[in-house]
Structure 1
Amino acid sequence: MAETRRLLRDNLRQWGVPALADTAELLTTELVTNALQHTGGGAELTATLSFGPRNLLRIEVSDGLARKPAPGPPGGDHATSGRGLLLVEALSDAWGVHSRGRGKVVWFELRFAPR
């Protein structure tokens, strides 16, 4: 997990938006931890920076795309729960979940001021 945080911080610095690093790292850690903990498989992280009218950093964490999820709490494979998601909701500008294959993708967006 430390390597993931370091790579994210390095990319944000290179992209010219280092002010997003602390919040992005915290929320990404929560999503990756949830994916690893609740699926018994791996997680894939995608970070996209978009300039334009909305200036957004979008982080997506996909879990178990081809793997059967580990047994979890009631509510099925697409249930979301936990304090980590409360942080995501409180600190992000937008977030959501969508299905992909046998897994799901949880994402969040952070707006930033233009350079």
Structure 2
Amino acid sequence: MRMGSLLGVTDLVGSPESVSQARDYVRKKLGEDHPALDDVTLLVSEVVTNAVVHSDSRDGGRVTLAIADCYDLIHVDVVDAGSATAPHVRGDMLDEGGRGLMLVETLSHRWNVYDDAAGRTVWFQIKYKHGGDDDGLSHPRQREPS
């Protein structure tokens, strides 16, 4: 069994400026040549934006970003203080807002949302080809059952 490794965990302030800090953190941890860099950076940007705009972490609360490389996929957790309403995928790509989780649904291998004592976690996984493996990117994408 192949084991993954935690690339890093960072705490961000619940403000819009933290979105660019999160993107920079992903680039630093994955490296510019990582095959999943673009997809992971985009989805981190979307999920952190949701956290700093819609969760109870907005206005200076804490948002935690964790990144792990699990051999052929990158696993990302974004933890915030939660809110009264649960994040959900909106169905209209032409709406001005609300496309973040639709992108997560489309680009990730698996993803989900859960609440616990730490707050609300939105997590996703991005598959990539590792070394000479033919496995990777070809698996169907799915949302984890709730």
TM-score bracket, shorter-length normalisation: 0.7 to 0.9
TM-score when normalising by structure 2: 0.62
Within 1, Cα distance between the matches of 2:118 and 2:130? Answer: 38
- Contact 2:80/2:121 (8 A) holds in 1: yes
2:51 maps to which residue? 35
Alignment map for 1:40-79 (pairs within 5 Å): 40-41=56-57, 42-51=62-71, 55-64=72-81, 69=83, 76-79=84-87
Decide whether aligned partners of structure 1 residues 102 and 21 sit closer, same or farther in structure 2, where only a CA change above 3 A counts: closer
Q: CA deviation at 1:79?
A: 4.1
In the TM superposition, structure 1's runs of 4+ consecutive aligned residues that sit over 2 Å from their partners are 76-82
- Contact 1:63/1:103 (8 A) holds in 2: yes
1:87 maps to which residue? 103
- Contact 1:77/1:103 (8 A) holds in 2: no
Query: 1:113 aligns to what SS in structure 2?
Result: coil
Q: CA deviation at 1:103?
A: 2.7
Within 1, Cα distance between the matches of 2:105 and 2:44? Answer: 12
Instruction: Give unpaired runs (5+ residues) of structure 2.
Output: 1-18, 90-97, 132-146
Instruction: Give unpaired runs (5+ residues) of structure 1.
Output: 70-75
CA deviation profile, 1:92-115 (whole Å, cap 9, x unmatched): 111111112273100110111122
- Contact 1:78/1:99 (8 A) holds in 2: no
Query: 2:121 aligns to what SS in structure 1?
Result: strand
CA RMSD of aligned residues (A): 2.0
Within 1, Cα distance between the matches of 2:54 and 2:39? Answer: 23
Residue in structure 2 matching 1:104, options 120, 123, 127: 120
More helix by share: 1
TM-score when normalising by structure 1: 0.77
For 2:117, the aligned partner's letter is G
